[in-house]
């Protein structure tokens, strides 16, 4: 006879059904993304299969399943991996709509559903990297999607407009590369 008090507690991953549950979640999510004119361009691969595999591995690892994601891709670094894309509140909300549909389709017990949904919402809000409206700002690959119409600068790509910042108070270091020649 075994003593159940020594058994390791189940992970969230195991409690919700393991691999099959996360595959269902991600497959349903990407069915929505495939038809979304705002989100679909953020996935450069023609086939969404590789993106679905990465998201499945990430979610499984996060929730206590296999560590395949880190073994294959290293640390998740979610904000860094999403930085080349124009993730504004509209994109976040579209992502959440498709993910909400996917979570609903799982029909998890209420506590598990709320736990999963809470994480997904926090993650989506954390990925927002611009408040520029859709169609303005960096596009996939970090390239500018639009030209900034400025009479004083000509119509130049946004990234070529020099930006300078004053050093933080008490910081006497300065980046001489940001100072135009002859302005010292």
Dmax (CA) for the chain in angstroms is: 84
Check if the beta carbon of residue 146 is closer than 8 Å to that of residue 86.
no
- Tell me how far apart the alpha carbons of residues 83 and 2 are, in angstroms, rounded to a whole number: 50
Residues 51-102 have pLDDT tens digits of: 999 999 999 999 999 999 999 999 989 888 888 888 999 999 999 999 999 9
Report pTM: 0.70
Residue 83: what pLDDT? 86
Across 26-180, where does the E strand assignment appear? Answer: 147-150, 154-157
Query: Coil, helix or strand for 111?
Result: helix
Residue 26: what pLDDT? 98
Query: Residue range 32-37: average pLDDT?
Result: 96
Check if the beta carbon of residue 144 is closer than 8 Å to that of residue 138.
yes
Residues 115-170 have pLDDT tens digits of: 999 999 999 999 999 999 876 544 444 444 443 344 444 444 443 333 333 444 44
* Nearest alpha carbon to residue 88 among 130, 124, 127, 120: 130
Query: Coil, helix or strand for 178?
Result: helix
Residue 135: what pLDDT? 65
Residue 82: what pLDDT? 86
Query: Coil, helix or strand for 80?
Result: helix
45: pLDDT strictly greater than 50: yes
Residue 2: what pLDDT? 55
DSSP result, 52-111: HHHHHHHHHHHTTS--HHHHHH-S--HHHHHTTS---HHHHHHHHHHHHHHHHHH---HH
């Amino acid at each position: 006879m075994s003593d159940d008090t020594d058994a390791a507690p189940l992970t969230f991953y195991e409690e919700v059904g393991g691999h099959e549950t996360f595959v269902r979640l991600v497959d349903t999510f990407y069915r929505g993304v495939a038809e979304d004119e705002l989100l679909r361009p953020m996935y450069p691969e023609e086939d969404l299969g590789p993106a679905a595999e990465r998201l499945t591995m990430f979610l499984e690892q996060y929730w206590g399943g296999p560590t395949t994601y880190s073994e294959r891709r290293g640390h998740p670094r979610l904000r860094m991996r999403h930085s080349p894309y124009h993730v504004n509140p509209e994109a976040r909300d579209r992502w959440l709509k498709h993910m909400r549909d996917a979570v609903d389709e799982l029909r998890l017990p209420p506590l598990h559903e709320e736990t999963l949904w809470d994480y997904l919402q926090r993650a989506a809000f954390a990925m927002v990297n611009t408040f520029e409206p859709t169609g303005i700002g960096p596009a996939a690959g970090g390239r500018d999607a639009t030209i900034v119409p400025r009479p004083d600068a000509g119509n130049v790509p946004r990234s070529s407009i020099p930006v300078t910042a004053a050093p933080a108070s008490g910081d006497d270091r300065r980046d001489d590369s940001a100072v135009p020649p002859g302005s010292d």
